[in-house]
Amino acid sequence: MVDYNPLNDSIGFLLGATYRKVNQLTTLRFREYDVTPEQWIVMYCLRRNERTTQTELSRTAQKDKTTITRIIDILDRKGMVVRTSSSEDRRAHYIHLTEKGRSTVDALCHLERSVMSEIAAGLEGELMGVLHQIRHRVEQILELEQTDGQS
């Protein structure tokens, strides 16, 4: 039997477990704003480009269209975003942050940066650079695999 334990040796499992822990901490810190990290990243993308369609937002936020629709519906109910119809294409809707949405995303940007700084403080010296190099290399490998798989 091979001495392989996916709980300790699987890159996907290890990255996923780390992501979940960071997400849990961020969720806890965002709680008073009634916004999840998943909702915040969509709001952040809207803050950077305030005139965008759901399709563009899906691409920018790296979320599928169904997830974007669900998040936009929730943010709309919370008064954080509004939809407006496109004058060029009646099928397209632009998503905009409301004033409440803008002030919330601005506050959460500072809070998220604070959470990430807490985590990064434990990565002294060159470890942060090594983390970025590893993440970049794993993404390159995965992109090559996806390219090869489409051939």
| pLDDT tens column, 80-100 | 999 988 777 777 789 999 999
pLDDT in tens, 39-74: 999 999 999 998 899 999 999 999 999 999 999 999
pLDDT in tens, 97-131: 999 999 999 999 999 999 999 988 888 778 888 98
pTM higher than the cut 0.95: no
- In the block, residue with structure tokens 């390159």: 140
The amino acid sitting at 91 is R
The Cα–Cα gap between 142 and 120 comes to 25
Other C-beta atoms lying within 10 Å of the C-beta of residue 124:
8
- 35 touches 23 (CB < 8 A): no
The Cα–Cα gap between 119 and 25 comes to 10
- Measured N-to-C along each axis, helices 99-121 and 11-30 cross at an angle, to the nearest 10 degrees, of 130
Q: Domain map of the chain by residue range?
A: 6-125
Q: Which CATH architecture has domain 6-125?
A: Orthogonal Bundle (1.10)
